Structure 1
Amino acid sequence: MGAAKRPSKPSTGSREKQLSLDRPKAARIGEVRAALGQLSGKAALYCSDASIARYLVARNWDVKKATKMLKKTLKWRSEYKPDEIRWDEIANEAVTGKIYRTDYFDKSGRSILVMRPGVQNTKKAKGQIRYLVYCMENAILNLPHGQSQMVWLIDFAGFSLSNISLHVTKMTADVLQGHYPERLGVAILYNAPKFFESFWKLASPILEPKTFNKVKFVYPDRPDTNKIMEELFNMEELESAFGGKNQATFNINDYAARMREDDNKMPLLWSPDNSALASEPYVMNKDRAQEDSSGLKSEETSSEKREETDSESENREETESESERGETDAVSGKKEETEAVSGKREETEAVSEKRDGTETESEKGKEAENSSSAVELTSLPVEGKGITPAYKSGCSSSDP
């Protein structure tokens, strides 16, 4: 199977227009770079203009919020080391073909990750997320020149209630939204079962509005949704499981050979010889220009919610081993305890405001009792969660 036709480069006039549109945004990229301070090594390679721009887009071009988000990713990358994950470390996660990169691209030249949750073969969320990170890094490594995004093709064949995990779904969203902003172009949920709709309603609030809008449901018995596939993919290359004409199936041995070849390429991308990539200019493509000009108000609210989630994430990392059980009812229980803490605090503050300088000793005793109760509640443990990565420029296939 051959690779999809690469997108053509913009004409000189088109490029000048893009650069003109980008001048105010280029200033904000400079502000973020100044706020980051002196960078070296992989951090400097990662923070190209294009990479910084993706974080600004994710935070509606708010410099302060984008800087905070990017700093979290840099910290995460230095500790998690996503670019150092190798095939032999995660091969056991891949044997069933639950996630793999295709050897063809979509019509826009985007890398494609096929996901089959119905053939999940492991139980630990930590290992599942680490394999997802490896696949994301590999998909970005193989992006062609001029492309910065990928496509997720999610096949629900064999999917059952036992495959549902709100915990893993949330961890996946944290990885994608927190450390791979603007990397997902579209996610196709192919032939999702009816019972998945209830889970989707529960999981949807986890997604930021922009991410939510990239999710498309496609059903083989509905011509209107099948048009999505025809618009996105070359049907000769697309696998038959998704309505295409390609009869090839996943072969673990062939895939392992491909991944080991890519493992050898990864260190070259992050070598000091690529230091010039850190100054790669950001050029806004047509779709992104339209997206920026639409002024989505929801993104502002979404970014604020995201900051709250990031804050919770820092505390939850300490108890990650407990969170790997991934039971939805346990998550719900912890949320109820947290709400109880909040309620107790509000009651204590309300009582405190009503008291005046002539409180009786009895009332003071009750105040101490309430304070003690609040302290006990606030000491409750918080459910843990994991996070995961990003890299490479939106302008060049070799830009981290």
Structure 2
Amino acid sequence: MSSKKWRGSLTEKTLSPEEQHAKMNEIRKMIGPIADKLPTLCSDASILRFLRARNWNTKKAVKMLKETLKWRLEYKPEKIQWNTNSTSGQIRYLVYCMENAILSLNSDQEQMVWLIDFQGWKPSSISMKVTRETAHILQDFYPERLGLGILYNPPKVFESFWTMVKPFIEPKTFKKVKFVYPNPESLKIMEEFFDLDKLESAFGGRNSDGFNYQAYAQRMREDDKKISDLINPGSSFPSLSSVLTKSLQSDSLVSDHGCEASDEVGSSSGDEAASSNLEDVDEKIQGQPSSCKDVANDDALKQPISN
């Protein structure tokens, strides 16, 4: 995996509902029947997030979607468990948290508020490699999920580190992150997004009960079962995964050259290559039953649980 400095434009396009719908239909036409086999990952709300993340450039959005499908088939986020304690498992645990939060979201929400606790954090915790991989996963495979990121009471040295990683974070994402400290001014920010009666006192709230590990563990076990129930062992999901993995391995599905081109350009050889490869994928999965489920509720979001 490689991370590149973000070179995207800071100027965001504004499209009318009709124009957005047209872009969405264009994406659906490009990915074909795959959308029917993976209805959640290719839902209207999901496609719109990929389009917004790539400033409504359909070629770039399709490439991003393609890379996400490849990543999900290889990473298998639906199989991650919550109680990992290995260093290498921490990024997988982050993916687990994202999948769990998405699964629990309300139907009228698309973005999350992240509250990050820095208690116990030390400079030795810094890893540029882990930070870049984390940014890559969150930005490229969960587009437009972050509404606001609150970094609560980070040490001053972290601010310097945050400046160092700025080139690897999309400008839109960077602007969504706020540094919050235990002072009256910051309390206004916390009060705007959280119920202070439920928010732990460690974050400026009025709940002095603290963290209940047993209750958390029980909730996580219940959520693990929800995710497990979404996977039908009797279906041909592994076969579908195999087909998609083989078909999506080639970057020719959507050529890098084609993705760099403007959306204003008409039909090109890059578009034809993408269409041809997608048709190959479609033909291979036509026989797969609709019971093959993409595991994630991409059409819903809820505000984070404060504990």
TM-score by length of 1: 0.53
* In 2: Cα distance, 1:396 partner to 1:47 partner: 16
1:392 to 287, 292, 297: 297
Deviation at 1:40, TM superposition (A): 6.5
* In 2: Cα distance, 1:163 partner to 1:190 partner: 16
2:100 to 107, 120, 138: 138
2:151 and 2:179 in contact (8 A); partners too: yes
Q: Does structure 1 residue 74 correspond to structure 2 residue 38?
A: no
Q: Cα gap change, 1:268/1:49 in structure 2, threshold over 3 Å: closer, same or farther? A: farther
Deviation at 1:245, TM superposition (A): 0.7
Q: Which residue of 2 aligns with 1:187?
A: 149
Q: Which residue of 1 aligns with 2:172?
A: 210
1:37 to 29, 32, 35: 32
1:180 and 1:391 in contact (8 A); partners too: no
Secondary structure (helix, strand or coil) at the match of 1:60 reads coil
RCO higher in structure (CA 8 A, sep ≥6) = 2
Q: Which residue of 2 aligns with 1:54?
A: 49
Q: Cα gap change, 1:204/1:391 in structure 2, threshold over 3 Å: closer, same or farther? A: farther
Q: Which residue of 1 aligns with 2:160?
A: 198
Q: Does structure 1 residue 92 correspond to structure 2 residue 54?
A: no
Q: Which residue of 2 aligns with 1:234?
A: 195
Q: Cα gap change, 1:25/1:268 in structure 2, threshold over 3 Å: closer, same or farther? A: farther
* In 2: Cα distance, 1:180 partner to 1:74 partner: 11
2:104 and 2:300 in contact (8 A); partners too: no
* In 2: Cα distance, 1:248 partner to 1:23 partner: 50
Q: Cα gap change, 1:218/1:149 in structure 2, threshold over 3 Å: closer, same or farther? A: same
**Percent of aligned pairs with the same residue?**
56
Deviation at 1:169, TM superposition (A): 1.0
Q: Does structure 1 residue 123 correspond to structure 2 residue 123?
A: no
* In 2: Cα distance, 1:395 partner to 1:252 partner: 26
Segments of structure 1 that go 5 or more residues without pairing to the other structure are: 1-19, 94-121, 272-302, 305-389
2:35 and 2:42 in contact (8 A); partners too: no
Q: Does structure 1 residue 25 correspond to structure 2 residue 10?
A: no
2:51 and 2:61 in contact (8 A); partners too: yes
1:148 and 1:392 in contact (8 A); partners too: no
Secondary structure (helix, strand or coil) at the match of 1:83 reads helix
Deviation at 1:23, TM superposition (A): 1.7
* In 1: Cα distance, 2:39 partner to 2:118 partner: 40
User: What amino acid sits opposite 1:153 in the alignment?
Assistant: L
2:101 and 2:301 in contact (8 A); partners too: no
* In 1: Cα distance, 2:96 partner to 2:112 partner: 14
2:135 and 2:168 in contact (8 A); partners too: yes
User: What amino acid sits opposite 2:133 in the alignment?
Assistant: M
2:91 and 2:134 in contact (8 A); partners too: yes
What does 1:160-179 correspond to in 2, within 5 Å?
160-179=122-141
* In 1: Cα distance, 2:58 partner to 2:231 partner: 26
Q: Cα gap change, 1:49/1:41 in structure 2, threshold over 3 Å: closer, same or farther? A: closer
Secondary structure (helix, strand or coil) at the match of 1:44 reads coil
Q: Cα gap change, 1:216/1:171 in structure 2, threshold over 3 Å: closer, same or farther? A: same
Segments of structure 2 that go 5 or more residues without pairing to the other structure are: 1-14, 233-258, 261-294, 303-307
User: What amino acid sits opposite 1:56 in the alignment?
Assistant: L
* In 1: Cα distance, 2:148 partner to 2:219 partner: 24
2:58 to 50, 55, 63: 63
Deviation at 1:224, TM superposition (A): 2.4
Between structure 1 and structure 2, the one with the greater Rg is 1
**Superposition misfits of 4+ residues, deviation over 6 angstroms:** none
Secondary structure (helix, strand or coil) at the match of 1:151 reads strand
**Equivalences, count:** 229
**Larger proportion of helix:** 1
Alpha-carbon displacement from aligned partner over 1:22-53 (angstroms, at most 9, x marks no partner): 22101111111111122167633310011000
Deviation at 1:123, TM superposition (A): 3.1
1:42 and 1:270 in contact (8 A); partners too: no
Secondary structure (helix, strand or coil) at the match of 2:52 reads helix
Alpha-carbon displacement from aligned partner over 1:172-203 (angstroms, at most 9, x marks no partner): 10111010001111110111111112111111
TM-score by length of 2: 0.69
Q: Cα gap change, 1:28/1:69 in structure 2, threshold over 3 Å: closer, same or farther? A: same
User: What amino acid sits opposite 2:145 in the alignment?
Assistant: R
Alpha-carbon displacement from aligned partner over 1:96-117 (angstroms, at most 9, x marks no partner): xxxxxxxxxxxxxxxxxxxxxx
User: What amino acid sits opposite 1:212 in the alignment?
Assistant: F
Alpha-carbon displacement from aligned partner over 1:49-95 (angstroms, at most 9, x marks no partner): 110000000000111100000010011112211122234xxx133xx
* In 2: Cα distance, 1:155 partner to 1:30 partner: 41
Q: Cα gap change, 1:267/1:21 in structure 2, threshold over 3 Å: closer, same or farther? A: farther
* In 2: Cα distance, 1:251 partner to 1:265 partner: 21
Secondary structure (helix, strand or coil) at the match of 1:123 reads coil
1:146 and 1:396 in contact (8 A); partners too: yes
